[in-house]
Amino acid sequence: QVQLVQSGAEVKKPGASVKVSCKTSGYTFSSYGIAWVRQAPGQGLEWMGWISPYNGNTNYAQKLQDRVTMTIDTPTTTVYMELKSLGSDDTAVYYCARVLISVGCEADYWGQGTLVTVSS
């Protein structure tokens, strides 16, 4: 069965970086993109970007493109999202999700979420 399993919660200081992993299994890795979506406490969903495991292409949300990097490790079918220069407004649950980039980019499977807390 399709699974996306994310790394554990993180606590970071302002200005630091965080790297969250998303281990995928149960499907052909190169056939689907992986999107990252975050949700601040009590708030809605915010798209951060996606990466294509097929060719490594990325598409980042404009507001984050200077601070976010998404990478893939094909042998382990794991996707990573690194966010730099963290501020308090980056405190959120971060989700990875499987998407069909060529169609409507609907996310049909989601990871369990990773809480990132930014606090001094």
Answer for which of 18, 20, 22, 35 binds other proteins (CB under 8 A) is 35
Q: Which residue lies nearer to other proteins by CB, 31 or 112?
A: 112
| Least distance between other proteins and beta carbon 45 (Å) | 4
Cβ neighbours of 106 (radius 10 Å): 10
Q: Which residue lies nearer to other proteins by CB, 8 or 104?
A: 104
| Least distance between other proteins and beta carbon 6 (Å) | 10
Q: Is 62 in the site for other proteins (CB under 8 A)?
A: yes
Q: Which residue lies nearer to other proteins by CB, 35 or 118?
A: 35
Q: Is 61 in the site for other proteins (CB under 8 A)?
A: yes
Q: Is 27 in the site for other proteins (CB under 8 A)?
A: no
